DNA sequence: CTGTTAGCGCATTCAT
DNA sequence: ATGAATGCGCTAACAG
């Protein structure tokens, strides 16, 4: 017969289709379809058994593409990630995956690698694959390139960053609260000069919010009791030259502060690692993990392994190496961010018509050695 | 007319189809299809212009699903990643993406989060979406669950790990060479006790190879001049209790070595951070970054910030924090691994019938403070 | 309960 | 050079 001998599955040259199964089971395609969609109550046990057998024999797997084409939904959602290199993104992803899993969705993950052009390309590609919705954590998307998405197009929810001009659900860290939390921590620790270091804003709303909140907290402090001073430094990590320039400036500024207080060892500071005479009074507040890493590497190069005794460091984001390096951080509820994003998206896919919602989740301060005096 | 007024694209409730475009352009669907497939030579400039206009007006985007259904290939490939948390994976991914981009493929990234069950699920899901091939970097897939794949099924290429019983292309680090390289480095540095620390083998061939190469290098050394001793420690990172137990054992062993040479402070070793009297003669060789991080964290907890003066650490994989922590590593050519994997896969998708090939790429030793004496 | 029919959006013969 | 017809694999009315 045409039945495949049990021991030797000669690797089907062509995947079986629903028609094959129908023939094999001696019935119509409809019944097969019904079986696939779990409409068991409407199938005689006898038929059902035959179908089951046929499916097994043919190792049949329904073609999702075809199903999608027919019913108009393919259970695919797009997940646009600006930078997978950032542990934050990976963690969010885990939440997304878990939620998708739970809701029967399949996330199509697109990694734009910090390239705005890539983001555009992927967004368009996702559209082309007719994803039912997208979760966007992008660097440079503008309202226009997201036009097909969001509004009248496919549902979208933003992660971490708002997109100007686009009304869509958003879920992310409560940036104001987080930056305030961090700033106050540094103030309480008695640091007198605090630099908030952040990447160029591009279109990333969260970066702006964090800076603003930092400024706000600094001002509030000055109003009360403080004399601490806050500064902002923009660091374009994508541009090595710019980074070097900016860090050199930062170094000079730090030297000025130090010399003004203890020894006058300004200039290029020849690894003053072993002179903890002048307790650190300057702190760096990194807006996210990549920035923090860049700063830490620089500080280590400049002050040696004991750089922590010279300048304090605090970072939003809590990468796994923070513990190892002993860096105080503000951990984001990444997993939950991802999970909620999918939930929001799902509601809209299912037709919910609510206004755009914002879901701001709180960060958690994790104090380590880098900010203790 | 039904033409949409230029200024107000009221957000198409339903995406335009090829039929819409045909109607809009006043022609048949065939011509549209030809236009989409770049068969320009066969279209009158006049018609071509009309089509272009219609497409623009309707913001038409061909439905990839439908195309795929028709022509039997959807340009989708699956990329199964065991653990995105491991920077190695993300880096490989970048290579994969670049190659896909160049070849007109769309990678469907699946993150199994170190769960064998997930791997099975995703593999089956990919099959269901009729991907044209898969790149597999999995933890526990067996030949059987990969049966539909590989052999007679869809093309597959393995990354980093071989799958027993499955004949498929493989690309990854030259593990033997890399482990040998690392071992010899430690030997040259004069370390006398070296522990190779690795996660449970599961079905991961690369882990076995690394251990073997380590043993081999140690034996070779003993044969010549050495008296250094090599040990192996299996660390199940997924099981906190096991980790604790194993590390405790390691601690005792290290203490034994130390006491045998200088002071006899065995036992629980109360943070001997400030007794650099006994130069480190023991080294830990981590089989990959997650293991290295685990070890580093433990050492730091036990010996304090100066743990590096007590025991050396070397790791395969070169995560970004290695530089910060000053850990010697063997960097894998991750990007290239990903790129090559896609190239291999593409060849097979295009019908190449070569035997299974192995592509072993060399690792690069990056010496940092953690292994200098 | 079960089978027949008619498309989903597109690429492809095959005519014209 | 162009269009009409057919079918990819599947679901969703409609009949029986």
Q: For the residues of A25-66, what is the DSSP string, one character each?
A: HTS-HHHHHHHHTT-GGGS-HHHHHHHHHHHHHHT----HHH
In strand C, which positions have an atom below 7 A from any protein CB?
1-13
H-run or E-run covering A346: helix A334-349
Q: What percent of chain A has pLDDT over 70?
A: 88
Per-residue pLDDT, averaged over A198-219, amounts to: 92
Distant-in-sequence, close-in-space partners of A274: CB < 8 Å, separation ≥ 6: A306
Among chain A residues 54 through 83, which have CB within 7 angstroms of nucleic chain D? 62-63, 66-67, 69-71
Looking at the fold, whether A236 and A211 belong to one and the same domain comes out as: yes
Partner-chain contact A125 B106, CB within 8 Å: yes
Task: Give the C-alpha separation, A183 to A230, whole Å.
Answer: 10
Looking at the fold, whether B217 and B161 belong to one and the same domain comes out as: no
Whether B293 contacts chain A with CB within 8 A:
yes
User: Are A360 and A159 within 8 A, CB to CB?
Assistant: no
Task: Give the C-alpha separation, B351 to B360, whole Å.
Answer: 23
Pairing of strands A169-173, A156-159: parallel
pLDDT score of A225? 78
> Mind listing the pLDDT tens digit for each residue in B212-225?
999 999 999 888 77
Nearest to B130 among A65, A113, A127 (CB): A65
Task: Give the C-alpha separation, A221 to A261, whole Å.
Answer: 22
Looking at the fold, whether A137 and A180 belong to one and the same domain comes out as: no
H-run or E-run covering A223: helix A205-224
Q: pLDDT confidence of B7, banded at 50, 70, 90?
A: very low
Looking at the fold, whether A247 and A302 belong to one and the same domain comes out as: yes
> Mind listing the pLDDT tens digit for each residue in B188-214?
999 999 999 999 987 788 999 999 999
Residue A10 lies inside a defined structural domain of this protein = no
Whether A13 contacts chain B with CB within 8 A:
yes
Residue A32 lies inside a defined structural domain of this protein = yes
Looking at the fold, whether A57 and A144 belong to one and the same domain comes out as: no
Per-residue pLDDT, averaged over B143-171, amounts to: 79
Please report how many Cα atoms fall inside a 13 Å half-sphere around the Cα of residue A175, on the Cβ side. 23
Task: Give the C-alpha separation, A278 to A221, whole Å.
Answer: 24
Helix ranges (H only) for chain B are 18-25, 29-36, 45-58, 64-71, 87-103, 116-128, 175-188, 205-224, 240-259, 289-303, 320-325, 334-349
Give, in degrees to the nearest 5, the angle at Cα B268 between B267 and B272. 105
Average pLDDT value for chain A: 87
Looking at the fold, whether A341 and A251 belong to one and the same domain comes out as: no
Of A62, A87, A115, the domain-final residue: A62
Among all chains, which residue has been given the structure tokens 């990903």? B338
Q: Is the pLDDT of residue B36 over 50?
A: yes
User: What CATH number is attached to the domain comprising B139?
Assistant: 3.40.50.2300
Partner-chain contact B152 A109, CB within 8 Å: no
pLDDT score of A194? 96
Give how far A86 is from chain B: nearest CA, Å: 10
Q: Is the pLDDT of residue B21 over 80?
A: yes
> Mind listing the pLDDT tens digit for each residue in B215-261?
999 999 888 777 889 999 999 999 999 999 999 999 999 998 877 65
Q: Is the pLDDT of residue A186 over 90?
A: yes
Q: Is the pLDDT of residue A175 over 70?
A: yes
Q: pLDDT: is A274 or A77 the higher one?
A: A77
Residue B122 lies inside a defined structural domain of this protein = yes
Looking at the fold, whether B235 and B357 belong to one and the same domain comes out as: no
- DSSP assigned state of B354: P
pLDDT score of B185? 97
Task: Give the C-alpha separation, B132 to B149, whole Å.
Answer: 10
Q: What percent of chain B has pLDDT over 90?
A: 71
Give, in degrees to the nearest 5, the angle at Cα B324 between A295 and B213. 155
Residue B81 lies inside a defined structural domain of this protein = yes
Nearest to B11 among A111, A152, A297 (CB): A152
Joined tokens for residue A206: 């969260």
Q: Is the pLDDT of residue A90 over 50?
A: yes
Give how far A54 is from chain B: nearest CA, Å: 17
Per-residue pLDDT, averaged over B78-91, amounts to: 95
Per-residue pLDDT, averaged over B276-298, amounts to: 86
Residue B1 lies inside a defined structural domain of this protein = no
Average pLDDT value for chain B: 87
Looking at the fold, whether A164 and A129 belong to one and the same domain comes out as: yes
B 175-234 → A contacts, CB under 8 A: none
pLDDT score of A222? 85
Give how far B172 is from chain A: nearest CA, Å: 20
Per-residue pLDDT, averaged over A127-140, amounts to: 91
DSSP characters for A121-176? HHHHHHHHTT-SEEEEE-SS--TGGGTTBTTTSB-EEEES---TT---EEEEE-HH
Measuring from the CA of residue A26 to each C1' atom, give the nucleotide at the shortest distance: C3
Looking at the fold, whether A123 and A251 belong to one and the same domain comes out as: no
User: Are A84 and B334 within 8 A, CB to CB?
Assistant: no
Instruction: Give the number of domains in chain A.
Output: 3
Residue nearest to nucleotide D6 (CA to C1'): B70
**Of the candidates A334, A358, A349, A333, the residue with the CA atom closest to the CA atom of residue A106:** A349
Q: Which of A73-77, B168-172, B230-234, B274-278 has the lowest mean pLDDT?
A: B274-278
Per-residue pLDDT, averaged over A209-217, amounts to: 95
Joined tokens for residue B369: 């403070």
Looking at the fold, whether A103 and A149 belong to one and the same domain comes out as: yes
> Mind listing the pLDDT tens digit for each residue in A258-315?
776 544 343 333 434 344 445 558 999 999 999 999 999 999 999 998 899 999 999 9
Task: Give the C-alpha separation, A346 to A352, whole Å.
Answer: 9
Per-residue pLDDT, averaged over A151-179, amounts to: 88
Per-residue pLDDT, averaged over B40-66, amounts to: 93
Give Cα separations from B276 to A300, A326, B324 (angstroms): 21, 21, 22
pTM for the whole thing?
0.89
Looking at the fold, whether B149 and B102 belong to one and the same domain comes out as: yes
DSSP characters for A242-277? HHHHHHHHHHHHHHHHHHHHS----TT---GGG-TT
Handedness of CA B85, B90, B96, B101 (dihedral sign): positive
Give Cα separations from A337 to A160, A164, B12, B206, B297 (angstroms): 8, 20, 30, 35, 27
Residue A257 lies inside a defined structural domain of this protein = yes
pLDDT score of B260? 64
Pairing of strands B133-137, B358-361: unpaired
pLDDT score of A147? 65
Q: Is the pLDDT of residue A148 over 80?
A: no
Domain that holds residue B135: 75-172+335-361
Looking at the fold, whether B261 and B326 belong to one and the same domain comes out as: yes
Residue A68 lies inside a defined structural domain of this protein = no
Residue A318 lies inside a defined structural domain of this protein = yes
pLDDT score of B349? 92
pLDDT score of B13? 63
Give, in degrees to the nearest 5, the angle at Cα B99 between B98 and B100. 95
Residue nearest to nucleotide D5 (CA to C1'): B30
pLDDT score of A260? 64
Distant-in-sequence, close-in-space partners of B333: CB < 8 Å, separation ≥ 6: B173, B361, B362, B363, B364
pLDDT score of A257? 82
């Amino acid at each position: 017969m045409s039945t495949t001998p049990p021991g030797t599955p000669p690797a089907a040259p062509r995947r079986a289709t629903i028609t094959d199964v129908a023939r094999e089971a001696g019935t119509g395609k409809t019944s097969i379809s019904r079986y696939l969609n779990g409409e068991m109550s409407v199938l005689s046990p006898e038929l059902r058994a035959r179908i089951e057998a046929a499916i097994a024999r043919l190792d049949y797997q329904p073609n999702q593409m075809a199903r999608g084409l027919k019913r108009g939904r393919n259970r695919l959602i797009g997940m646009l990630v600006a930078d997978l290199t950032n542990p934050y993104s990976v963690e969010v992803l885990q939440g997304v995956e878990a939620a998708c899993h739970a809701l029967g969705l399949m996330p199509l993950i697109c990694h734009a690698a910090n390239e705005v052009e890539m983001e555009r390309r992927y967004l368009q590609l996702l559209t082309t694959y007719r994803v039912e919705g997208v979760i966007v954590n992008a660097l440079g998307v503008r309202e226009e390139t997201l036009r097909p998405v969001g509004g009248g197009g496919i549902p979208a929810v933003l992660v971490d960053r708002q997109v100007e001009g686009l009304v869509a659900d958003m879920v992310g860290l409560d940036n104001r609260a987080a930056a305030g939390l961090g700033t106050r921590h540094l103030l309480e620790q008695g640091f007198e000069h605090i630099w908030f270091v952040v990447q160029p804003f591009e279109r990333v709303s969260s970066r702006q919010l964090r800076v603003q909140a930092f400024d706000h907290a600094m001002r509030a402090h000055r109003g009360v009791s403080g004399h601490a001073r806050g500064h902002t430094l923009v660091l374009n990590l994508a541009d090595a030259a710019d980074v070097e320039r900016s860090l050199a400036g930062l170094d000079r500024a730090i030297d000025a502060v130090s010399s003004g207080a203890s020894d006058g060892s300004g200039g290029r500071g020849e690894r003053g690692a072993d002179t903890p005479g002048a307790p650190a009074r300057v702190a760096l507040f990194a807006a996210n993990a990549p920035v923090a890493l860049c700063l830490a590497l620089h500080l280590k190069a400049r002050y040696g392994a004991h750089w922590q005794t010279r300048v304090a460091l605090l970072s939003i984001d809590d990468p796994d190496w923070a513990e190892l390096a002993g860096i105080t951080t503000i951990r984001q509820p990444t997993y939950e961010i991802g999970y909620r994003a999918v939930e929001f998206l799902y509601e809209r896919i299912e037709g919910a018509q609510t206004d755009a919602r914002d879901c701001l989740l709180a960060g958690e301060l994790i104090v380590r050695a880098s900010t203790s005096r």
